[in-house]
Amino acid sequence: MKISLITAVYNRADTIQDTFDSVLAQTYQDIEYIVVDGGSTDGTLDLIRQVEPRFQGRMRWTSGADKGLYDAMNKGIRMATGDVVGILNSDDFFTSPDVLERVADAFVESGAEAVYGDVHFVPTGNPDKCVRYYSSRVFRPALFRFGFMPAHPAFYVKKSCYDRFGLYSLDYQIAADFDLLVRFLYKEKIKAKYLPLDCVTMRVGGVSTEGLHSRVVLNRESVRACRKYGIRTNLLLILFKYVYKVFELRW
């Protein structure tokens, strides 16, 4: 089973080496690593060129202007030739070397079309300190109406699902991942398996958590995505997720 792993990046020379190193450290070898650069000007391209030989032909990359993060992800998915596709953000890295091996085993053992796990968040300057643990264990499709979804950076899905049900919608600023998960897991009801594994270490400060305005946009777009696929919800119900998030914090 080949896994196509996609990293979309723009000017992340300060963090992407950790991303590369964690991919190279994976014990699972049947991977295709696709890096989609948005035309970086900060040295990111130099790092991509330097690391490419270490992948021994398993890395492909492209660079050029795009319409944002989700457009870059779509470019990577279109390039993918693997059986399964996963996303690893350029600020993030795998928590352990056996993540992809465990994901591949879960696909084989369960016969699922998607596998998802957990992630945790760390401060930018202290990757050993967990400030929040995001577990996907409690997720059920019915919880979309409350803004809950599986941890997107720990979500792996068969390429055939993208072929049948579409890519990330560019109609959203922030919530295209939420829209895609609702489409796959609620509307199309693909078979999914939860993997109890901390898959990815994420630095705080991602696009959906960069301040009050981003949170407002995210929540409004989440309501729109739910209604698009027939889920009855409203902004108040979506905000319920923040009550639960309090219990994810680590002090």
Q: What is the per-residue pLDDT across 24-61, written as a single tens digit (0 to 9) for each? A: 999 999 999 999 999 999 999 999 999 999 999 999 99
pLDDT of residue 250: 73
The answer to whether 85 and 4 are in contact (CB under 8 A) is yes
Total domains in the chain come to 1
pTM of the model: 0.95
Boundaries of domain holding 34: 3-248
Q: What is the per-residue pLDDT across 208-233, written as a single tens digit (0 to 9) for each? A: 445 688 999 999 999 999 999 999 99
As a three-state string, the secondary structure of 142-176 is: HHHHHCCCCCHHHEEEEHHHHHHHCCCCCCCCCCH
- Output the domain CATH number for residue 37: 3.90.550.10
182 phi, psi to nearest 5 deg: -60, -45
Q: What is d(CA 113, CA 103) in angstroms, rounded to the nearest whole number?
A: 12
